Every structure is written in structure tokens, then in C-alpha cells.
Amino acid sequence: MSESVQVSNPAPLTTLSDDEILFRDNVRQFADDKIRPLAKEMDEKAVFDHSLLDQFFQLGLMGIEIPEQYGGAGGKFFDAILAVEEFSRADASAGVIVDVQNTLVANAILRWANEDQKKRYLTKMVKDTVGAYALSEAGSGSDAFALQTKAELKGSDFVLNGRKLWITNGKEAGIFILFATVDASKGYKGITAFLIEKDFPGFTVGKKEDKLGIRASSTCELLLEDCRVPKENVLGEVGKGYKIAIETLNEGRIGIGAQMLGVARGAWEYASKYAQERTQFGKTISEFQGIQFQIAQMATEIEAARLMVYNAARMKDAGVNFVKEAAMTKLFTSQVAERVTSLAIEVYGGYGFTKDYPVEKYWRDAKIGKIYEGTSNMQLATIAKLVMGK
């Protein structure tokens, strides 16, 4: 079903400025009008509609934090989080494309790139170039720094060899922040980040994964076979890639929190609407206390998740340490999304288990929240270390 859902929104408007409310409402309207009608078809075909991508660029949503001097919107991190939430409410695949572009790739370039790199790549990212973040490998998931991709300096180029897996935006991306080790004997201190263009010699985008959820979002392997990367395309400093990876992922986890918040909201809105339409025993099921309690529990958890996401994003914009809050946000919102989407299916009953109705897709899309950009166990490890001072 692709119709717009009109349900009272529990958003605490007092937490947003007038400009933020206007921005959020405009993004929400676009998501309802343009993304939601295509969500089911994109999911079934496992292909993202490129006409939507073109519109994302035209609306400035692929360069929200990029300064105006590079053609961007010059907005805040919080603005990007609002966009990810509203897009994910309509379709989680749309949400993650905007999320990776803004909270990972653009953020990393803004923070670590030199001026020449910013001029070369940020100006492309606001115009027509999608970014991807390539860290994971077959044997390097939660143990991110066990990566095996090698980089060897030969003359004016680094020559890279290896294979990356599970790279979001892999099919659409024109620029990749890719991590490789220049000196395995130094362990994580040998890891270096590189800015790689899709047409660099020796670089190939491999197979696209056939996934349970976020199916329209491309998740691909990357193959590097004597891939030549100019040494001026090192991001930051040689051997400091581990620092870039850790600090960028801290910001990205807030983005995943926003995605999971949007997924939970979308499922809750459909379930609430359906409960007021479905009749059993001569009255709507929303009149039964059991259903009322489920809807109320879902709304309460969504509200708590929203406050955590917004708080972490505000902390990031304020320049204060947000590592613990980011980990807590990703952990909690992924749990909420999984619970809420599951309950939404139960509210629909047998209909919820079919693909003719929208909530099963929200449930499938929610599962990835506990896995990518740091599993729930990794978030718990981070939180435990920070709250216990260990």
C-alpha cells in the first residue's frame, strides 16, 4: 500500500526551532509524495529509483552539512538527522542513502580532508556524486582493524589490493572512502584512509547482495586489483585511518538511530490507522484495551527513541563528547524499531504477514539496525567501558 498515512504525530515540537520544523515538514511532504509511492516496487525489484536520487541532489539533501562555498546547504548535523528520520519513515533504503552521504562520507571529508580534496569532492557530492564508506571485509566486521586490504607506495601512487564487503551505496557511488593498511606490522596504526574514484584503474564494484531488508539500498563488494590511487588522495595522514574510522562511525551511529526511529514511526502510524479501521465483534479493534495498550507502548518507546536521537545530534552540533550517547542511541533505537515493527504486524494480524500490506517491510528493514555500523554487542561494550570507566 502506498497511500499517505495521516496520523497524529507525537513529535515534541518544542525541541525544534521554527526553521527546523519547516525543514522537517518539507522533507516529510516530499517523502510522502515522492518516496512512499515507489517504496514497494523498489523493495521488490531491489533497485533504487535513480529519478529519486536526482531529486535528492536537486533539493540539497545530499550535501546538508557541506558549506555553501562548496555548493552545499551549510546546514547542521541535526538537519541531516531530521532528513534521515523522515525519509526512513517512508522507506529505509532512501533513509540510508542520505545517511551515508551526509553522516559518514561528507562528515569525514569535512573533518579530515585538505582544501584541495574538499574542492574536488565536496563540490561533486552536492551536485551528482554519491559517496560510500568502505571499511568492512570478510574477516573484518566487528573487529574492524583486522582488515587485510593492502596499500603499497609505488612512485607517486599507492597500489591497493584486497576486497571489501557489505558496502552501502556501492552501486550508486562515484567516490569511496576506503581503508587499507600500509604497514601490517604496525597493527591498527598502519591503517590509512583513501579517497577512491569509481573509475580508478584496478577498482571494480562486484556483486550486489540479495538482502532481507533495505533491499533497494545497494550493498556491494569492492574489488581492488593493483588499484592505483594518487598519494594526494590519502585522507588525513598515512597511518591515521583508524582514528578517522572510529570518529566517523560515532557520528554515523546517530544517523542509524534516526533511520531506526523513522522505521518505527512509519510502522506505528500504519498500525494505528489500521486499528481504527479494522472491525471485529462489532467494533474497531482500537476500542479493545489490548490493542490500545500495544499502540500506547509503541508510541512511548518511539518518543524515548526520538529524544535519544535528537539529544545525541544536538550534542554533536554543540561540540561536546557524544560517544556514549551515540552508542546508546543506536542500541536503543534498533531495539525499539524491531519491537515496534513486530507489534505492528500483530496489530494487522494475518494481513500483516502478507506483502500486500506495508508493515512486513518495515519489520524486514528494521533488522539491519542491530548489525551495521557496529552490532548491538559492540555498542554495549562501548557503553560499558564508558559508564564503568574501564
Residue type, 12: P
At residue 1 the predicted structure's pLDDT band, cuts being 50, 70 and 90, is: very low
281 shares its domain with 369: yes
Q: Do 232 and 306 fall within a single domain?
A: no
73: which residues sit within 8 A by CB, 6+ positions away? 60, 63, 64, 65, 66, 79, 126
Range of the domain at 186: 132-239
Query: Does the pLDDT of residue 386 top 60, yes or no?
Result: yes
CATH number at residue 18: 1.10.540.10
**Taking residues 206-232, what's their average pLDDT?**
98
Question: Of 130, 156, 190, which marks where a domain is finished?
Answer: 130
pLDDT tens-digit readout, 227-275: 999 999 999 999 999 999 999 999 999 999 999 999 999 999 999 999 9
pLDDT band at 141 (very low <50, low <70, confident <90, very high): confident
DSSP for 214-269, please give it: STTS-EEEEEEEEEEEEGGGEES-TT-HHHHHHHHHHHHHHHHHHHHHHHHHHHHH
Instruction: Give CA separation, 23 vs 20, 36, 340, in Å.
Output: 5, 18, 26
Q: Do both 230 and 274 map to the same domain?
A: no
User: In this structure, is residue 3 part of a structural domain?
Assistant: no
Q: Which of 239, 263, 296 is the last residue of a domain?
A: 239
Calculate Rg over the CA atoms of the chain.
21
Question: Is-contact 53 172, C-beta < 8 A?
Answer: yes
Confirm if 152 and 182 have CB atoms less than 8 A apart: yes
Question: How many domains does the chain fold into?
Answer: 3
Of the pLDDT bands very low, low, confident and very high (cuts 50, 70, 90), residue 2 is very low
Average model confidence (pLDDT) across the chain: 95
Q: Which three cell numbers stand for residue 371?
A: 548489525
**Beta-sheet strands, E only, within the chain:** 130-134, 150-154, 157-168, 173-181, 191-197, 203-208, 219-230, 234-235, 279-280, 283-284
Q: Is the pTM of this model over 0.85?
A: yes
* Cross-strand partners of 176: 132, 196
pLDDT at 10 over 90: no
Could you report the per-residue pLDDT of 39-91, keeping only the tens digit for each?
Answer: 999 999 999 999 999 999 999 999 999 999 999 999 999 999 999 999 999 99
- Does residue 173 carry a pLDDT above 60? yes
Examine the residue annotation and report whether 373 is marked as an active-site residue of this protein: yes
Q: Above 90 in pLDDT, residue 13?
A: no
- Phi, psi for residue 186 in degrees, rounded to 5: -90, 0
Of the residues 137, 251, 325, 373, only one is catalytic, namely 373
What pLDDT is stored for residue 15 in this prediction? 76
Q: Are residues 42 and 116 in the same domain?
A: yes
Please report whether residue 1 resides in a domain.
Answer: no
Q: What is the pLDDT of residues 267-310, one digit of tens each?
A: 999 999 999 999 999 999 999 999 999 999 999 999 999 999 99
Vertex 136: Cα angle to 130 and 142 (nearest 5): 130
Structural domain includes residue 4: no
Chain centroid, CA 104 distance in Å: 9
